Amino acid sequence: MRKVGKKFSTRKKILFVVLIASFFLVFPLLQSFFLLPFQLRLQQGELQSFSFQLPLGITIHGDKAGIIKLNGDFLQKKALFLAPKSSWQINPLQIGEVNLEVKLLGIIPCKKVRIEVVSPTKVIPVGSSIGVLFHTDGVIVVGFSSVIDSYGRLHYPGREVGIALGDLISKVNGKKISSINDIIKQIARTGKEDGYLTLEVQRKNNTFVKRLKPIFCRETGKYRIGLYVLDSTEGVGTLTFYNPQNKKYGALGHLVTEGKTNSKMVIGEGKIVDVSICSLEKGKRGKPGEKIGAFTVGKDKVLGNIEKNTNLGIFGTLEEIPASCYYHQQAFPVALVEQVKEGPAEMLTVLKDRKVEKFQVIVEKVIKQKKPNDKGLVIKVVDKKLLKETGGIIQGMSGSPLIQDGKLIGAVTHVFINNPVKGYGVLAEWMLKETS
């Protein structure tokens, strides 16, 4: 009779040893694969060091010469051998791309790494407070009102035909509307003629037409359509940066919206003006603080126009550099997204009058993004003076530049309502792309 149990036990032991051995052989391969990135972006002329801590020696081939040097080697004609856990020192010489083929022990293909060398763009961080003045391209619906006719009956003409809060009315009876007075005149004229108004309406990315009849209001003695509309807005923010080569600027770091409906302000005409901060409202848990700026519409010094209103801020061309600019001559490189890291940083902003000051903050988190948005960073204020004066981040700081390791990395955008010490920031590289 055969001893099956003992033989089976021996096979299990052999299998276990084989599995363990395989693990120790395969694990370094897997580790090498995951430690190496598929792609690196580097700025021309900026020497970079990387420590990938690969457990085995590797050889590296490059498909182009002249783009980079890796540990002093151009990589094209011969393979570069790196011992286990060696560092990579990459010198980006020219703008372009090079593909590296990495082999473990010079034999086993491990990974292909694409290195892209880009041109660094330098801008001047500003930090000055600005007044933002918007005139819409049409009028925005911000509310509804009842209209009482001659018989005492209640009507809501605009709402009844499907107009919604936040809708932009761009044309009435085929004519472009640029102010509240324009639409009032059209309503009065059409009402007297006992006719119908044709409204061209924009809602997000859709444009459609609504037709309604003005009703004579017994209470006001005027023809009305039951809509409250807005044609302009104004506020205080911070100028983030400008490019000294073309005077293009970025500010705020977030979209400008109409306050009641949170609808995007579609630019008809816009400008930024010089503003002085006269007082501060300190932020508290559940109640955001605010900068109070003093400026007079039509009388203040115009600093520039507003050409774009996007989710990443407002953008345009400067006519004049603010006198309060923190750095008038020193231009800073704009950090690539990959270069921004958790740790100490500085914020430029105004607390009083037009004086830009520097305050200490910490980047607590760099948020990975599939597409650019205004919440790419989580920041925390640690500066004692700033905490004493404002409680942390307050309204009006939107756009305040963030600097880390001699680079502009982003701008403040939002405060945490229940913790004003913290807030969000937008990455500077994304803002810069909006200026092109």
Reduced to 3 states (helix: H, G, I; strand: E, B; else coil), residue 124 is strand
Distance between CA atoms of residues 57 and 104, nearest Å: 6
Reduced to 3 states (helix: H, G, I; strand: E, B; else coil), residue 183 is helix
HSE-up of residue 222 (Cα within 13 Å, Cβ side)? 11
Distance between CA atoms of residues 335 and 163, nearest Å: 44
- The number of angstroms, rounded, from the C-alpha of 289 to the middle of its chain's C-alpha atoms is 22
Q: How many residues does the chain have?
A: 436
CB atoms within 10 A of CB 81: 14
Q: Per-residue DSSP letters for 301-331? A: PEEEE--EEETTEEEEEBSS--TT-S-SS--
Cβ 291 vs Cβ 130: under 8 Å: no
Distance between CA atoms of residues 126 and 250, nearest Å: 10
Q: State the catalytic residues.
A: 254, 383, 398
Radius of gyration of the chain (CA): 30
Query: Phi first, then psi: what are they for 18, rounded to 5°?
Result: -60, -45
Distance between CA atoms of residues 122 and 279, nearest Å: 33
Residue 352: partners with Cβ closer than 8 Å, 6 or more residues away: 277
Distance between CA atoms of residues 330 and 183, nearest Å: 49
